[in-house]
Amino acid sequence: MADSKIAETLGSARLDTVPFSGIRKVFDAVRVLEEQGRDVIHWQIGRTDFDTPDHIKAAAMESMKRGDVHYAPNRGVPALRKAIAARTTMDTGIDVAEDTQVIVMAGANEGVLVSTMAFVNPGDEVIIPNPNWHHYKSCVSLAGGVPVEIETREEENFSLLAERVAEKITPRTKMICVTSPGNPTGCVESKENLEALAKLAIKHNLVVVSDEIYNRIYFGTDGEVAPSIYAIPGMAERTIIINGFSKAYSMDGWRLGWTVASPEMTMNLLKIRQYTTVCVNTFIQHGAAAGLSGDQSAVDERVDAFRERRKIIVEGLRAIPGVTVAEPLGAFYAFPNISAFGKSSQETASYLLQEHAIATVAGSVFGSGGEGHLRIAYSCSTEECERGVERLAHALKQLKKL
Ligand SMILES: Cc1ncc(COP(=O)(O)O)c(C=O)c1O
């Protein structure tokens, strides 16, 4: 047999349950355009344009110099677990034990995969919003579970409404995944809706995975961080918080995140994680500990910059005839509706990229509910956002004539 057939014939059936990431495909297409010398508007990826703050880098380098080059504990180094527990208490008002409730993960994404592997049996149903960050659907599928996608609507700011979740709960439902602030929409769940979701989770004995990676990039009025379902009475014992350093600290390349859950649920997670990455690089954990427990002004600066960019993007989009956009209350995404232009989201995204060098992601990448939309990640510079909306207005005007 030719070598080229080995992967095809011997690959696991699991491979057929997940697609290649639609976002990574845009990433590759952008690289080709840039090699051709095109000036691309980078709205394709949720990676901030900022550098990691210097004091975090310095602490990591110091740790490496000290010789922190060996395996860390499976749960993470104590200094970082302590900082994560303190931060979670600050964000949710709930006491968290650093020794038993925290695991440092290789990015929030490891937390998502480990959570599904630790709690989802083959055939179990997992509630996820549609559209949603596409890794949830894939991680549920990899664990053998059945993703049950719940419609969310632009006119309801893409909230995962408890009443719609209730309609889809069956005896096979095991887990609800909440992402707030959300990717790709920037939606933030209200406290009232979180309370209604919590009631459902308690009534039907469900695990809740609460992805809070954008919780500090929040533009709402009721506090500095987006509300967390973990804070609701009765929820700390059944919720896994997923969070990380990629967004608020511009540390996506460091691959560092965490889970917080009850001591018992954490043991389940720990058992799986012993066979995934074992532990995260020791010296980067010391850098991150300095980040979480030290001066937070770099996070404030980032949030201020995203607030300014959000204004440019939302006002710019709303000024384009035919475009509507729900108010994003968190993260750094806008999810404009471009269905009035009569093309699919993939056709529109390809047209914008190839003809006008504007890199977005087709809404359909995030689920059928994303059709008719584009995801704009305004995690690029303010100047690029300004140029981008001007170019987009022109490109969509041209599209109307095609
Ligand atoms: C909602 C959400 N969760 C998790 C992640 C992954 O974060 P990390 O880089 O920490 O794996 C992302 C990245 O885009 C995200 O949007």
User: Count of residues for the chain?
Assistant: 402
Kindly report which listed range (13-22, 252-261, 279-288, 371-380) carries the lowest average pLDDT score: 13-22
* Same domain as 240, residue 359: no
Any ligand 1 atom below 6 A from CB of 46:
yes
| Ligand 1 midpoint to CA 163 (Å) | 27
| Ligand 1 midpoint to CA 257 (Å) | 9
* Same domain as 98, residue 111: yes
Q: Does the pLDDT value for residue 265 go beyond 80?
A: yes
Q: Is 284 left (phi over 0), alpha (psi -120 to 50) or beta?
A: alpha
Q: The domain that contains 311 carries what CATH number?
A: 3.90.1150.10
Which residue's alpha carbon is nearest to atom 14 within ligand 1? 46
| Ligand 1 midpoint to CA 5 (Å) | 34
Q: Which domain holds residue 71?
A: 54-293
54 CB neighbour count, 10 Å cutoff: 9
* Same domain as 168, residue 67: yes
* Same domain as 340, residue 253: no
* Same domain as 317, residue 245: no
Domain boundary at 238, 273, 293, which? Answer: 293
Specify whether the CB–CB gap between 174 and 146 falls below 8 A: no
Whole-number Å distance between alpha carbons of 6 and 12: 11
Q: Does the pLDDT value for residue 341 go beyond 70?
A: yes
* Same domain as 58, residue 47: no
Residue with the larger pLDDT of the pair 201 and 45: 201
| Ligand 1 midpoint to CA 143 (Å) | 19
H or E stretch at 275 = none
Question: CA-CA-CA-CA torsion for 287, 291, 292, 298, nearest 10 degrees?
Answer: -160
Q: What is the pLDDT of residue 4?
A: 78
Domain boundary at 293, 309, 327, which? Answer: 293
Domain boundary at 276, 293, 310, which? Answer: 293
Q: Which atom of ligand 1 is nearest to the CA of 46?
A: 14
Q: How confident is the model at residue 186 (pLDDT cuts 50, 70, 90)?
A: very high
* Same domain as 232, residue 91: yes
Specify whether the CB–CB gap between 13 and 142 falls below 8 A: no
Please state at what angle helix 382-401 crosses helix 297-318, rounded to 10 degrees.
Answer: 20
* pLDDT tens, residue by residue, 205-247: 999 999 999 999 999 876 689 999 999 999 999 999 999 999 9
* Same domain as 315, residue 230: no
Structurally, the chain folds into a number of domains equal to 2
* Same domain as 177, residue 138: yes
Percentage of the residues of the chain whose pLDDT score is greater than 90: 93
Q: What is the pLDDT of residue 402?
A: 67
Any ligand 1 atom below 6 A from CB of 107:
yes
* Same domain as 317, residue 261: no
Q: Which atom of ligand 1 is nearest to the CA of 179?
A: 1
Task: Say if strands 374-377 and 257-260 run parallel, antiparallel, or are unpaired.
Answer: unpaired
Token look-up 């006119």 returns 155
| Ligand 1 midpoint to CA 151 (Å) | 21
* Same domain as 103, residue 11: no
Q: Which atom of ligand 1 is nearest to the CA of 214?
A: 1
What is the mean predicted confidence (pLDDT) over 350-357? 96
Any ligand 1 atom below 6 A from CB of 379:
no
Any ligand 1 atom below 6 A from CB of 330:
no
* Same domain as 163, residue 24: no
Which residue's alpha carbon is nearest to atom 7 within ligand 1? 108
Q: What is the pLDDT of residue 1?
A: 54
87 CB neighbour count, 10 Å cutoff: 20
Kindly report which listed range (81-85, 120-124, 243-247, 292-296) carries the lowest average pLDDT score: 292-296
Q: The domain that contains 79 carries what CATH number?
A: 3.40.640.10
Q: How confident is the model at residue 99 (pLDDT cuts 50, 70, 90)?
A: very high
Any ligand 1 atom below 6 A from CB of 246:
yes
Any ligand 1 atom below 6 A from CB of 108:
yes
